[in-house]
Structure 1
Amino acid sequence: MNREHVVPGAPTYSKVAQVTIFFWIMKVLATTLGETAGDFISMTLGLGYYVGLAITFSVLGIVLWTQIGSKTFHPVLFWTAIIATTTAGTEISDFMDRSMGLGYFAGSIILVTGLALSLAVWYHRVGNLRVYPITAPSAESMFWLAVLFSNSLGTAFGDYLVDDVGLSFIQGALVTAGIILAVAALHYFTQMNDVLLFWIAFVFTRPFGATFGDFLTKPLDAGGLSMSRGYASLVTLAILLTVLYVSMRWSSERRSSPAPADRSDLSR
């Protein structure tokens, strides 16, 4: 079953980055940046969660409108959209827990439901849940909705491990890293559905990056490095841009020297 069709004037190549090892490295860095930037807006600047949500969703709306409306794939724009969803995800999770008083567990249940519903609507509208390539605007819109739910869910889970379970930031990162490694093993050594594995990995790279962001910024007596949120955001952004540059060079060289296809990604 495949109801996806080409819209006249729509791109005929993917608007979403190919899922390689660089994708996952940048995803983790983007989630770290989203965590520190989200906390910087709501806490360091003292704007609170209501104003923080208004700011981050305004930026997110502009970035996604530009990304989905673009006729070509722009790596910087794509990763800006990922960072915007991780920042908004931080604000959504914190708002649900601290302003609405739902708690991380109840918030996670709501977000899991939202993610499942968004994937169901995606499949109903498009006929598949293929992550790469994505060419139709309808599929890309559903992709970004699922990304937003995933990043919000990952934030809530990471905070649940630290605040409710009582793990340190490093322990929380190790737990989520273990889950990510298990997903990678299932990808390479089993025939488990790659779409399912992709979204599991996508969700759990969020708390991995978020706990690392907390590790950078939280006080020394709380197990962190006590870096300012602004400085931690700038350092993370610099690393992310470096990895993005390397990945673009690698992609350019790979296109000029094609290699046989393999199962090196979680995009199918």
Structure 2
Amino acid sequence: MTSARQPGAVLTGVSATPGVRARLSKVPQVTILFWIIKVLTTGMGETASDFLAHTVAPPVAVGLGGLGLVAALILQFRVRRYLAGVYWFAVIMVSVFGTMAADVLHVGLGVPYVVSTIGFAVALGAIFVVWYASERSLSIHSIDTPRRECFYWATVLATFALGTAAGDLTAMTFGWGYLLSGVIFAALIAVPAIAFRTGALNAVAAFWTAYVITRPLGASFADWMGVSHERGGLGLGTGPVTAAWAVLIVGLVAYLAITRADAEPTGI
């Protein structure tokens, strides 16, 4: 699922033409670095959300997360082309707020993780249905209008909430713990990659399947690093883990911003 095989496929089987691809500059190309940064943002979002919730009052933390998300998305919608720093800042804020949304349902409202996982899965499916019915495409290489960008970010938010609930479901409800959960999701993320390479799954389905799995994958390992020994973790603390993962993200995004190695071709 790297740039070597990204024809811009859509569910209708139509590939993006060069003229269309020249306009598609609001999202990055799907490279190895894309997946690495994506996993890092999921882990950072998980620990950052937990850190804020234990540092300030939870309602204040959720409010701050919501404001940060709105600001990030406004900035992303205002730029006219893909900018690595702007795009990944939006992803980070979606990660933080998506974690909060899932946690509010369980901690605040007492909704079991199995129920919230199913609920977020249904919500994601509904977004896909409406998106495809409206645009006839779910490809990230066709995000060339504000409406499609709205569908894209709604999908991203739903995947983060779903992944958060699924990760907590395996780690806590199933009792697998954070480390084992992370290992299991690391194995699971190979499934859509293999299915895509063998032709069993098309590019769009493989991408979004892997995208969902990255959330519990990164969050499980980040939680394992941050939580106490009593909870099966390394006890490094959510603050230090958030800071360490943030440094990695900033370094990689800075590299992409300078080199534009993941920018869609323009001027074709």
Equivalent residue of 1:132, what SS?
helix
Q: Is residue 247 of structure 2 the alignment partner of residue 238 of structure 1?
A: yes
Q: Between 129-138 and 71-80, report the one with greater CA deviation.
A: 129-138
Residue identity over aligned pairs, in percent, reads: 29
Question: Structure 2, unaligned stretches of length 5 or more?
Answer: 1-11, 14-21
Question: Structure 1, unaligned stretches of length 5 or more?
Answer: 3-10, 257-268
2:130 maps to: 121
From 9, 32, 41, the counterpart of 2:43 = 32
1:221 CA displacement: 2.8
Q: Which runs of 4+ in 1 moved over 3 A?
A: 245-256
The TM-score, its normalising length taken from structure 1, stands at: 0.86
Give the distance between the partners of 1:91 and 1:121, measured in 2 at CA: 25
Distance verdict in 2 for CA 1:94–1:64, change over 3 Å = same
Superposed CA RMSD? 2.1
Q: Is residue 92 of structure 2 the alignment partner of residue 83 of structure 1?
A: yes
Distance verdict in 2 for CA 1:97–1:238, change over 3 Å = same
From 41, 48, 59, the counterpart of 2:52 = 41
Q: Is residue 27 of structure 2 the alignment partner of residue 13 of structure 1?
A: no
Give the distance between the partners of 2:200 and 2:137, measured in 1 at CA: 18
Give the distance between the partners of 2:133 and 2:263, measured in 1 at CA: 35
Equivalent residue of 1:53, what SS?
helix
Residues 83 and 257, structure 2, Cα contact 8 Å, conserved in 1: no
Distance verdict in 2 for CA 1:88–1:192, change over 3 Å = same
Give the distance between the partners of 1:82 and 1:221, measured in 2 at CA: 31
Give the distance between the partners of 1:199 and 1:221, measured in 2 at CA: 35
- CA offsets 1:161-217 (integer angstroms, 9 cap, x no match): 111111121100011111101111111122412211111111110001111111111
1:36 CA displacement: 0.8
Q: Which amino acid aligns with 2:40?
A: L
- CA offsets 1:7-51 (integer angstroms, 9 cap, x no match): xxxx923201111111110000000110011111112x1411x33
2:18 maps to: none
The TM-score, its normalising length taken from structure 2, stands at: 0.86
Distance verdict in 2 for CA 1:26–1:121, change over 3 Å = same
1:247 CA displacement: 4.1
Q: Is residue 62 of structure 2 the alignment partner of residue 53 of structure 1?
A: yes
Q: Between 75-84 and 53-62, report the one with greater CA deviation.
A: 53-62
Give the distance between the partners of 1:21 and 1:188, measured in 2 at CA: 15
Alignment of 1:218-237 (within 5 A): 218-237=227-246
2:183 maps to: 174
Residues 60 and 81, structure 1, Cα contact 8 Å, conserved in 2: yes
Residues 30 and 262, structure 2, Cα contact 8 Å, conserved in 1: no
